[in-house]
Structure 1
Amino acid sequence: MDRYQHVYVMRHGHRLDNFDPDWAAKAARPWDPPLFKDGMVRAFQTGQRIGSQTGYPIHRIFVSPFLRCIQTASQVVAALSSLPNAMSSINKTKLKVAIEYGLCEMMNSVAIWSVVSPKDGKFDFDISDLESMFPEGMVDHNVDPIYKEVPKWEESPEKCRERYVKVVKTLADKYPTENLILITHGEGLLTTFSTFYKDTTVLEVDYCAYVELRREVSSKDGSVVETGEYEVAQSGIRFSHDPVTIPTPF
């Protein structure tokens, strides 16, 4: 039976240090800011928009371990669960969440300033504490992560972009009959959009902007037979493009 797989790749909400210039100086983890209050609101609203505009279930959410992404994912989960008219399609009792290191921020001084990064280059995350931010039973501990640890500090921008593309493609192929939301950082969203939406130059990526990748998946007797090419839609990304034919948005 033919159907579509939908993969959302979403940027986190507004980060606190961009609104409170004094926060980093007194923070224990100045490289891992939480969301600003407006970031919480926008994350929730974005989750509502995705949930209310879809006629298909969201099965899994994968998220970067950085606090701003975890908090964004938590708000998205809350938003999806708050939509009574979409409960049957969202099916919150079956929605699963997993932390994926491959969705991390670009691990270099371009994205994380040296003045706030750990002096030893080690970025520690208390995974149990992060997982506790989601409803009981929602975290899937059986998921085998694509990246089993944080990428090494001072990775090149090129390696980082390769990482993002690998994670998006691998997760989509790993769960071809499920619809996914991947919550990451600005560079991850920029890379995803420019990779799947050819001949574009991204000018700006808003907080909580997202790309929706859609492809046809043909299955028979429960096994995937064939997958089609991705169609791309987006929200909150400003870009320019060369004179090419742009696919009709869906």
Structure 2
Amino acid sequence: PRRPPAGRRGRVWVMRHGMRIDEQDVSWRDRSDRPYDPYITSEGRKQARAAGELIRRQALEEGAIRWVVSSPFLRCLQTAAEIANALGIATIYVDNGLCEVLQTRNVAVRPQYVRPDTLRLTDGSMARLSFENTGAPEPAWPEELSAARLRFTRTLERLPMDFGGNTVVVAHGDTVAQFVSLTKSVPEDSVYSVPNCSMVCADAFSPDGGAPVFSRVWVGPDILTLDSMVE
């Protein structure tokens, strides 16, 4: 998409992916050749569809969702597909800036991402969708949490500027937590629980074309924080 002019950039929903298979089957990692990239379970798909329906209802008041943007990890792509289908959106934009925190405890080897075009042949929820990469560079591996948090902040400030219009971002728990910290001005370590498919949304506004200012923030009630500022 072409970067829109300064002004209101739309409302942004940032959400975590659905339930992953290694939450249901703890031995899955030992059997998989891609233990860092689990797929979502049938329950995860139900969670994603429910989240898509919630966003669709909110969009009746906020205006239609124009864009869905996803981390390149499989669990996020699958969740994003369910969201896109619920919203009637045909294209998912894949942004490497939304990658999981690439600490070795999360990703023990440099990740190799699945090709969305391959997934379209094996995953029915993706059959009608197209995928476009935003061109954001892949983050360095391994990566410290502090570097990932800075990456998330820069990405979450960049996406409203690049896209404009109401946008759903599907990523990881640490990404959602960073958006809470960014929009509510709370310490980064204060958000300690981000359940599957929980979300935060906020209006993005850029008066001068620079980094957006976020307002009218809504934090899902299932996201838990140590700071009483987040309700």
Residue equivalent to 1:198: 185
Q: Answer whether contact 2:160 2:204 (CA < 8 A) is retained.
A: no
TM-score, with length taken from structure 2: 0.82
3-state SS, counterpart of residue 167 of structure 1: helix
| 8 Å Cα contact 1:64-1:101 kept in structure 2 | yes
TM-score by length of 1: 0.76
**1:68-147 matched pairs, under 5 angstroms:** 68-81=75-88, 92=89, 96-112=91-107, 117-118=108-109, 121-130=110-119, 134-136=126-128, 138-139=129-130, 141=132, 144-147=134-137
Q: Is 2:187 the partner of 1:207?
A: no
Q: Any idea what SS the aligned residue of 1:153 has?
A: coil
Q: 1:167-199 deviations in whole A, cap 9, x for unaligned?
A: 1111111223x1111110111111111121113
1:65 Cα deviation after fit: 1.1
Q: Which has the higher helix share?
A: 2
Flag as ranges the 4+ runs of structure 1 deviating above 6 A: 224-227
Q: Number of paired residues?
A: 217
Q: Which residue does the alignment assign to 1:5?
A: 10
1:232 aligned to which of 193, 213, 217 = 217
My pick for the range that moved more, 178-187 or 195-204, is: 195-204
**CA displacement 1:197-247 (0-9 Å, x = unmatched):** 11352121111011101135679xxxx7996543311113111325x6x7x
Unaligned runs of 5+ residues in structure 1 are 82-91
Question: Superposed, which structure 2 residues align to 1:15-94 within 5 Å?
Answer: 15-55=20-60, 56-81=63-88, 92=89
- Offset, 1:51: 0.4
Confirm whether residue 162 of structure 1 aligns to residue 158 of structure 2: no
Write the distance in 1 (CA, Å) between the matches of 2:211 and 2:15.
26
Task: Give the percent of matched residue pairs that are identical in Structure 1 and Structure 2.
Answer: 25
Tell me the distance in 2 between the aligned counterparts of 1:53 and 1:231: 14
Is the CA contact 2:160–2:212 (under 8 Å) kept in the aligned structure 1?
A: no
Report the Cα distance in structure 2 between the residues aligned to 1:53 and 1:211, rounded to whole angstroms: 13
Q: CA deviation at 1:110?
A: 3.6
Cα displacement (A) at 1:71: 0.7
**Equivalent position amino acid for 2:153 in 1:** V
In the aligned structure 1, how far is the partner of 2:158 from the partner of 2:140? 20
Paired amino acid for 2:28: W
What amino acid maps onto 1:238 in structure 2?
L
2:4 alignment partner in structure 1: none
Q: Which residue of 2 aligns with 1:186?
A: 173
**Corresponding letter in the other structure for 1:202:** V
Distance 2:197 2:111 in 1: 27
Task: Give the superposed CA RMSD.
Answer: 2.7
